[in-house]
Structure 1
Amino acid sequence: MLPEPLGASDIEQANKGAGAVRAALDEAALSDWMAQHIAGFSGPLTLAQFNGGQSNPTYRLSTPDARYVLRRKPPGAVLKGAHDVLREARVQQALAGSDVPVARILGVCSDPAIIGNDFYIMEMIEGRVFWNAGFTDVSVEHRAAYFDEMNRIIAGLHGVEPASVGLGNYGRPGNYFARQIARWSRQYLDDELAGRDENMDALVAWLPGAIPPGDETAIVHGDFRCDNMIFHPTQPRVLAVLDWELSTLGHPLADFAYHAMMYRMPPDIVAGLGGADPVPLGLPSEADYIALYCQRSGRTGIDNWDFYLAFQFFRLAAIFHGIKGRVLRGNASNAQAQQRAGAFPRLARLAREAMEACS
């Protein structure tokens, strides 16, 4: 028995609710560029901006015959190394044809004369986006299949050999935790406008000395959550994984821990189960979900699980700290940015609690 089908209005809502354009761009210049670089493009062009996505403004581009999605850097000053949409385009181009479903990239532009900064255009995937990690829009008996699909895809991503898809130089192999801890610590400490937090300061001091032994390298997504995927309208099948801004070469267990963090994440911060018992909801337990990933990735188990969770709560807190900084600077791209900024102290506290569980 298949999940309940969606109507046209449901699919429209599932594609992240595009509305009024908040970060304006030169529509005429964009249309001219698309006419030259996007095969089959024919105007007139109309724009709407998606509500999803915290960092890079994302737009639905519509013509009488087609619809596209545009991702761009946010306008104004940005932190060094952040919002690299060209990396997003590169990894999606590389993974096209692999077992990891991605939207097809149609055009990439690094010329600031067009709309003011870098952007890329990809096909628009019509499907279903789940904002609730409990998949409550699906009948209880179907929910486990959606979790199984997410598990299959993240294990598949980590099984892609980077060099085989042209991503051997997509990041530096090895020492992932040391480099990531240094990166997010620096980004947190450098953003003086967003302020300091005692829990974050404690993690900045503790994390470098707590890194477990052993090292692995894989392509990692960096933000693998249910709401960063488009599912088939009526089947537990992912049509495209979105939002590759944080992707790199990294440690697969870090990436999986971020994904599995949904079991402990309050649902009002990002998609999470908030400590609810998943089994009565028709979902696998955290332990069973970890075991399923281990089975698919050839592991017998995951040691130091609490460290991986502490690291990822810290990392997400640092990202939300950056959102807070963008709110204060006035260049946050998302209507929910203020709410995300307000959640930063809670994430920092969750990170510290995970850290304390390691001792």
Structure 2
Amino acid sequence: MRTEQSAPPAQLDAAQIAQANAGVGAVRTALDEAALAAWLSAHVAGFAGPLRVAQFNGGQSNPTYRLETPAARYVLRRKPPGTVLKGAHDVLREARVQQALAGSDVPVARILGVCDDDAVIGSAFYVMDMVDGRVFWDASFAEVAKDERAAYFDEMNRVIAALHGVDHVAVGLGDYGKPGNYFARQIGRWTRQYLEDELAGRDPDMDALVAWLPTAIPDDDTTTLIHGDFRCDNMIFHPTQPRVLAVLDWELSTLGHPLADFAYHAMMYRMPGDIVAGLGGADPQPLGLPSEADYIARYCARTGRAGIANWDFYVAFQFFRLAAIFHGIKGRVLRGTAANAQAAQRAEAFPRLARLGREAMEACA
């Protein structure tokens, strides 16, 4: 099963990104394999060793492993060992949302066992089915025949619409986040982080977004379950069909505004492909893909909306949010505290994201 990835490095094409993140290798974050095997025997139905463990090459945030026995394969996601920021790397939260969505129209991997005892392997973890299929790192779906690509886009559209249609209270997620006031809270949070990191510096496009966004929040306080990182490379597709078998990387999921979540997903139309999976503003029609307007219309039809007023506000907000994250990475690079080897490349992408956000802001005028 392809697992959670952080944003791919800038200045790599889709093929290089896929190569860098594909497959498994030696275990880099050690765990007690004997203790794990004993726990699996006691808590996962049908488990029978011997156990072989490998670690996925991708997945910067939460170490992720492939577990193999003579009869089965599993995936284990764990919280990184040691001290982590409060609220970060909450793999138990990931497991909870996937368990709640089991049997819904949102495809997720089946959770087989959850362990909150750090003593077993050094941190909390969960085990799920290994889902075999395809992961697309290129948002143009270049690996698929041109006349089939629109069907893959429509399937992504279907799944995110289904997610936003889930009754989060009915599935036991009524307390999964703070309902209401989503944009004001998010804009305030990321503005504070941006302004407080003086070493990373200021950017005129980002300053313009900081000033404008609080004044432009639409009068719509809808709350649904949101994914937070809904991209083509966070899904496993059927090996031959335009069908999503599992949505991955639920680390940023919460209760929030569905149009924020959809705008993050639809940013692929404007996002440079060397930052995260995106079309970089390319004309989608020659690629066999729906236009941004048509994609929005399909989502609206599925969710019962007549349309989306102030669409560019939502896009501007998401570019601002991502720019703020990359600005924080820039600060850590300058302080020498960035652990990820790709951090410097992401820091360099910050002003490009801020500029894209300002362009969306100006389109609202």
TM-score of the pair, normalised by structure 1? 0.88
Query: How has the CA–CA distance of structure 1 residues 81 and 185 changed in structure 2, closer, same or farther, with 3 Å as cutoff?
Result: farther
Give the drift of 1:336. 4.6
Q: Which residue of 2 aligns with 1:311?
A: 317
Check if 1:232 corresponds to 2:207: no
Q: Which residue of 1 aligns with 2:15?
A: none
Q: Which residue of 1 aligns with 2:124?
A: 118
Superposed, which structure 2 residues align to 1:304-343 within 5 Å?
A: 304-322=310-328, 328-329=336-337, 331-332=339-340, 336-337=342-343, 339-343=345-349
Check if 1:206 corresponds to 2:212: yes
Give the drift of 1:152. 0.6
Please say which of residues 23-32 and 12-21 is displaced more in the overlay: 12-21
Check if 1:47 corresponds to 2:53: yes
Q: Is the 8 A contact 2:230 2:265 kept in 1?
A: yes
Matches of 2:347 and 2:310 in 1, distance apart?
Answer: 30
Superposed, which structure 2 residues align to 1:122-137 within 5 Å?
A: 122-137=128-143
Q: Is the 8 A contact 1:14 1:129 kept in 2?
A: no
Q: Which residue of 1 aligns with 2:14?
A: none
Q: Which residue of 2 aligns with 1:221?
A: 227
Matches of 1:91 and 1:181 in 2, distance apart?
Answer: 25
Match of 1:100 among 102, 106, 120: 106
Q: Which residue of 2 aligns with 1:357?
A: 363
The amino acid of 1:274's aligned partner reads G
Q: Is the 8 A contact 1:14 1:127 kept in 2?
A: no
Matches of 1:119 and 1:338 in 2, distance apart?
Answer: 30
Give the drift of 1:208. 2.4
Q: Structure 2 stretches of 5 or more lacking a match?
A: 1-17
Give the drift of 1:38. 1.6
Matches of 1:323 and 1:175 in 2, distance apart?
Answer: 27
Secondary structure, in 3 states, of the residue corresponding to 2:169? helix
Query: How has the CA–CA distance of structure 1 residues 201 and 76 changed in structure 2, closer, same or farther, with 3 Å as cutoff?
Result: farther
Match of 1:258 among 260, 264, 288: 264
Matches of 1:330 and 1:46 in 2, distance apart?
Answer: 32
Matches of 1:132 and 1:314 in 2, distance apart?
Answer: 23
Give the drift of 1:31. 2.3
Query: How has the CA–CA distance of structure 1 residues 202 and 283 changed in structure 2, closer, same or farther, with 3 Å as cutoff?
Result: same
Matches of 2:209 and 2:361 in 1, distance apart?
Answer: 7
Offset from partner CA, 1:30-80 (integer Å, 9 cap, x none) = 222222222222223222222333422222122222111111223444333
The amino acid of 2:151's aligned partner reads A
The amino acid of 2:26's aligned partner reads A
Q: Is the 8 A contact 1:15 1:126 kept in 2?
A: no
Check if 1:74 corresponds to 2:80: yes
Superposition CA RMSD, Å: 2.5
Query: How has the CA–CA distance of structure 1 residues 22 and 329 changed in structure 2, closer, same or farther, with 3 Å as cutoff?
Result: farther
Offset from partner CA, 1:174-219 (integer Å, 9 cap, x none) = 11111222333345556678x3442445434432232111211111
The amino acid of 2:45's aligned partner reads A
Matches of 1:320 and 1:300 in 2, distance apart?
Answer: 34
Check if 1:279 corresponds to 2:282: no
Please say which of residues 197-206 and 308-317 is displaced more in the overlay: 197-206
Query: How has the CA–CA distance of structure 1 residues 341 and 118 changed in structure 2, closer, same or farther, with 3 Å as cutoff?
Result: farther
Please say which of residues 276-285 and 173-182 is displaced more in the overlay: 173-182
Secondary structure, in 3 states, of the residue corresponding to 1:249? strand
The amino acid of 1:329's aligned partner reads T
Matches of 1:183 and 1:28 in 2, distance apart?
Answer: 43
Query: What is the identity percentage for the equivalent residue pairs of Structure 1 and Structure 2?
Result: 79
Offset from partner CA, 1:91-144 (integer Å, 9 cap, x none) = 100000000000011111222222322221111100111111000000001000
Give the drift of 1:15. 9.1
Secondary structure, in 3 states, of the residue corresponding to 1:114? coil
Matches of 2:206 and 2:90 in 1, distance apart?
Answer: 25
Query: How has the CA–CA distance of structure 1 residues 196 and 114 changed in structure 2, closer, same or farther, with 3 Å as cutoff?
Result: farther
Please say which of residues 153-162 and 48-57 is displaced more in the overlay: 48-57
Equivalences, count: 345
Check if 1:37 corresponds to 2:30: no
